[in-house]
Amino acid sequence: MAATEAQSKLAHVLPLGSRIDARGHLEVGGCDTVALAREFGTPAYVYAEDDLRSRARAYVEAMRVRCDAAGHAFDVLFASKAFPCTAAYRLFAAEGIACDVASGGELALALRGGFDPARIYLHGNAKSLAELREALDAGVGHVVLDSFDDVERLERVAAERGTRQAVLIRVTPGVAGRTHASISTGQADSKFGFGMDDARRAIERVRACDHLELQGLHMHIGSQLLSLDAYRPAVEAIATLGDFPVYNLGGGLGIAYTAEQQPPSIEEYVDVQVRAVTELVGSGKRLLIEPGRSLVANACVTLYTVQTVKRNVSTWVGVDGGMSDNLRPMLYGSLYEALLADRADRVGEGERCHVTGKHCESGDVIVHDVPLDDPRPGDVLVTPATGAYGHAMANNYNGIPRPPVIFCKDGDARVVVRRETYDDLAARDVD
């Protein structure tokens, strides 16, 4: 396959600006991935910094154009659970977007990364008193209330401090997006938010609180959505709860993990959301959206080194990582592409292989049935679209140190999260 044809095949899966050079090597952020593997070792998460910035700017511009036309104010929030990394927080804060966090730990990282506390939104379906106290002490702008227990705890914490905390109420609209059951959140029976009947009672309860200021509603119907048809019915549902100044419409836009997937564009996604609020609720609102996966997933590839090739009934290509650096195939049956970094111009060619991790689980398979051109031990293997939930869910199963995070830009590479060591594995031991 010609390099241009191979590049076109995976262009929307790889980071923006990726290319196949004259030697057939894959370049990300201007850096040769084979050389990156030699310099930094494998496994490694490699991000194209310009891709992260470009997607943040695309979201801001899409919201600006549509909200200005409809008379809305707006903000774009980085849903940081997708990639809770100090360098990412710092980059997105510099791009002028806001942030949502789902725990005290993510809050600490967001603050360390330079986010203005007033532009941080605290989420979570089981927030502890400690997390609420940390949030109010930091001065977070908004807390998203998820339950009546949340209301009671936050009212207590705000009263202790003599403050009045701005809040949103998370509503489960009874509308589910088409996605995996584990990342569907809008259905009536969900662990997240208030059902429609409870939402009405929650609104009354919060309005009666001396130390809570209800500013609006939040909804989220699911993640990795490749269809936008559930957003309008969801907005229609929450519109029956009354008129509010703020509507947070959540995130959920899907991304392309494989060459066959063609997700909606950022512009299409934003257009559906803004149009629904404008037509069903009215103009003059403040609209918030929370992209996470679609900001960071395609900005990254993971580099591995092939360790073994076994040709039994199937061909099994064993690499030096697996479920410790990418749990998504095991949790959700997620599909990925794979290619060899020094033969990227031959993507789609060769024998059908299963790319397997090194962990002691038969289910530790990263990619099923992918064509690879004569894979051999020592090859650098690349899986694209690993920028969301790879680093976030990384673990130490089998005592494997977690990989580094490398940011690449204009041919320069820098480590923003170092590789763990064996000493790190025992760092919390007290005996």
Average pLDDT over residues 343-355: 94
pLDDT of 5 higher than 70: no
Type and span of the H or E element at 330:
helix 328-332
Q: What is the pLDDT of residue 178?
A: 53
Average pLDDT over residues 93-112: 98
Q: Output the CA angle 303-309-311, nearest 5 degrees.
A: 140
Nearest C-alpha neighbor of 303 from the set 52, 49, 39, 37: 37
Write down the domain spans for the chain. Answer: 3-49+297-425, 72-291
What is the b/e burial string over 213-232, where b = at least 16 CB atoms within 10 angstroms of the residue's CB? ebbbbbbbbbbbbeebebbb
Average pLDDT over residues 326-332: 93
User: What are the φ/ψ torsions at residue 366 (nearest 5 degrees)?
Assistant: -85, -45
Q: Where residue 221 falls among pLDDT bands split at 50, 70, 90?
A: confident
Sequence-distant (6+) residues with CB within 8 A of 245 are: 215, 216, 285, 286
Q: Where residue 246 falls among pLDDT bands split at 50, 70, 90?
A: very high
Q: What is the pLDDT of residue 192?
A: 78
Half-sphere exposure of 130 (CA within 13 A, CB side): 4
pLDDT of 185 higher than 90: no
Kindly state which CATH superfamily the domain 3-49+297-425 is placed in: Lyase, Ornithine Decarboxylase; Chain A, domain 1 (2.40.37.10)
Q: What is the pLDDT of residue 113?
A: 98
pLDDT of 356 higher than 80: yes
pLDDT of 411 higher than 70: yes
Q: What is the pLDDT of residue 2?
A: 59
Pull the structure tokens for residue 150.
Answer: 């949340």
Q: What is the pLDDT of residue 183?
A: 47
| Amino acid at residue number 222 | G
* CA–CA gap between residue 147 and residue 346 (Å, rounded): 52
* CA–CA gap between residue 149 and residue 62 (Å, rounded): 37
Q: What is the pLDDT of residue 6?
A: 61
| Amino acid at residue number 304 | Y
Q: Where residue 427 falls among pLDDT bands split at 50, 70, 90?
A: very high
Contact between residue 21 and residue 35 where contact means Cβ atoms under 8 Å apart:
no
Q: Where residue 10 falls among pLDDT bands split at 50, 70, 90?
A: confident
Q: What is the architecture of the domain spanning 72-291?
A: Alpha-Beta Barrel (3.20)
Catalytic residue ranges: 360
Contact between residue 215 and residue 167 where contact means Cβ atoms under 8 Å apart:
yes
For the ranges 178-192, 267-281, 350-364, the lowest mean pLDDT is seen at 178-192
* CA–CA gap between residue 164 and residue 33 (Å, rounded): 51
pLDDT of 289 higher than 90: yes
pLDDT of 73 higher than 90: yes
Average pLDDT over residues 90-111: 98
User: What are the φ/ψ torsions at residue 297 (nearest 5 degrees)?
Assistant: -65, -55
